[in-house]
Amino acid sequence: MRKLCSGVAALLSGFALLGGAPAPGAAAPGAVPLVAHYPMEPDPTDGKRLPDAGPLKLHGRVGAGAGLGDGGHKGKALLLSGNGDSTARVSQPGLIARLGDRMTVTAWVRMDAYPQGRDAGLLAKRSGNVPTPFALSVGRDGKLGFEGYNGLGWENLFTGPNAAPRGAWFHLAFTYRAGGKAVFYVNGKPVASRNASRALAANDQDLVFGRDPYRGAFAGALDEVRLYAGALTPEQVALDMAGTLRTRVAAENDFPDPTHPVLLALARYDMPRGFTQGYGRTRHTARRAPGPDAVDWPVITWKGKPVFEKDGEERVDVPLRDGGEARPLFQQPGDEVLSPGNHWFRPLQWRWGQRYVYTTDRTARSWHNDYELWTFHVLIRGAGAGDVKNVVLTVGGKTVYRNAGPLRSLTLLLPQNEAGKPYALSVGGRGPIRFDAGLRPVTP
């Protein structure tokens, strides 16, 4: 149990080869970073291996209901019956797990028939309810589809009907550039596009050929599947289709450091919401009000820059922590901090490919994309209508608020201050009065 403190108020590079895997050496100018290349040629020692002919050797496995057999666009193909375990998957995706900001997927596709029920999954990077960088599908009317989650919502792109031919090989390309465009190409020609607002939420889930957890199974064949760490131009798509695109080994520096969108919110501790079961905001968002009975808050900063200048909410993109730097229970030097008060949070890669905003700050709450910082109100009122003027608030020797007034009243919404660093308030030249704002544990 907690109670308000007493105070003023309740308070990876390589030489590029034409149409093939890069060899060690200096990368040719303009070469595209190749992450993986699945030519669907079987391993003579292991018929269920899905070999990656690219330099990173991100090999996969072919499911019991699928196989590498004759009839490919070029040699063999991955043959998918559309029944049972008719898939192939890459369970150790390596740099495929970094795709999201800018990327291209290309493949030769042969559809035996359009799906009869649900859309069929062609290639997907999701397993159940996790953030998804891409899931490519085909519908029962020959419509091609893309779905990808950007941390805030879904980026979707669908072609018109009959974009995917039946019974014949066609070249499919999907390109994505955050802040640019998402584009579908069929046989080298763009068939659909849309604005791509944000980077997609990369994950470490399997790369699955021929199925998607939220779609049906694909009946047909796939060949010459390639994944690139870059959005190909129309000219490069044509070169990929011809098998003459210059490539190099994809490296770590081809992928921007992942970020996570966080909605920061100032909330009023004295204005609780209804019960949220832990999946939503617990307090109402702070709102400014003009005089004569003003409501305001001090300058609050993140990375040394003011936030909440316009209102009580601000969206920011924050580095995403993973591995060892994501797991410490308590505040670490690299964590994000709102000042005053040293209110910290850490966006991290959580279980099952999900992302979460974490904190142990006892006057804040957080979940997938949100960080709610509680504020505690201090009411300043004088005897007369304009008695509240020349208000100055400092903390830790730094001035964080000024208001010349005059006002009838002023409600200041203050984040909890750090222990040993009280707020100091002066009004009309009087003071300062030093006080703590926030919560403190109830001691027995």
CATH of the domain at 106: 2.60.120.200
- Are 204 and 302 part of one and the same domain? no
What's the pLDDT score for residue 416? 98
- Are 307 and 346 part of one and the same domain? yes
> Within a domain: residue 9?
no
Specify whether the CB–CB gap between 363 and 4 falls below 8 A. no
Specify whether the CB–CB gap between 297 and 373 falls below 8 A. no
What's the pLDDT score for residue 13? 29
Q: Which of 166, 141, 171, 144 is closest to 156 using CA atoms?
A: 144
> Within a domain: residue 17?
no
What's the pLDDT score for residue 440? 86
What's the pLDDT score for residue 352? 67
Report the C-alpha gap between 358 and 369 in whole angstroms. 10
> Within a domain: residue 12?
no
> Within a domain: residue 6?
no
Enter the pTM of the model. 0.80
- Are 108 and 134 part of one and the same domain? yes
What's the pLDDT score for residue 278? 63
- Are 305 and 228 part of one and the same domain? no
- Are 348 and 292 part of one and the same domain? yes
What's the pLDDT score for residue 20? 39
Q: What is the extent of the structural domain holding 116?
A: 32-254
Report the C-alpha gap between 63 and 79 in whole angstroms. 11
Report the C-alpha gap between 24 and 22 in whole angstroms. 7
Report the C-alpha gap between 230 and 241 in whole angstroms. 16
What's the pLDDT score for residue 85? 82
Report the C-alpha gap between 353 and 336 in whole angstroms. 22
> Within a domain: residue 349?
yes
> Within a domain: residue 16?
no
Specify whether the CB–CB gap between 249 and 22 falls below 8 A. yes
Paired residues of 223 in beta bridges? 108
Q: Which of 398, 362, 401, 366 is closest to 380 using CA atoms?
A: 401
- Are 381 and 289 part of one and the same domain? yes
47: left (phi over 0), alpha (psi -120 to 50) or beta: alpha
What's the pLDDT score for residue 277? 65
Number of domains observed in the structure of the chain: 2
Specify whether the CB–CB gap between 160 and 143 falls below 8 A. yes
- Are 335 and 421 part of one and the same domain? yes
- Are 217 and 359 part of one and the same domain? no
> Within a domain: residue 178?
yes
What's the pLDDT score for residue 9? 33
Count CB neighbours of 304 within 10 A: 7
- Are 308 and 383 part of one and the same domain? yes
- Are 315 and 332 part of one and the same domain? yes
- Are 128 and 191 part of one and the same domain? yes
Show pLDDT as tens, one digit a residue, over the chain (444 residues): 333 333 333 322 232 323 333 333 344 558 999 999 999 999 999 999 999 999 999 999 999 999 999 999 999 999 999 887 899 999 999 999 999 999 999 999 999 888 888 899 999 998 766 778 999 999 989 999 999 998 888 999 999 999 999 999 999 999 999 999 999 999 999 999 999 999 998 888 899 999 988 888 999 999 999 999 999 999 999 999 999 999 999 999 999 988 999 999 999 999 998 876 666 789 999 999 998 999 999 999 999 999 999 999 999 999 999 888 898 999 999 999 999 999 999 999 877 667 899 999 999 999 989 999 999 999 999 888 899 999 999 999 999 999 999 999 999 999 999 999 999 999 999 989 999 999 988 888
> Within a domain: residue 143?
yes
Report the C-alpha gap between 431 and 225 in whole angstroms. 72
Specify whether the CB–CB gap between 363 and 374 falls below 8 A. yes
- Are 99 and 193 part of one and the same domain? yes
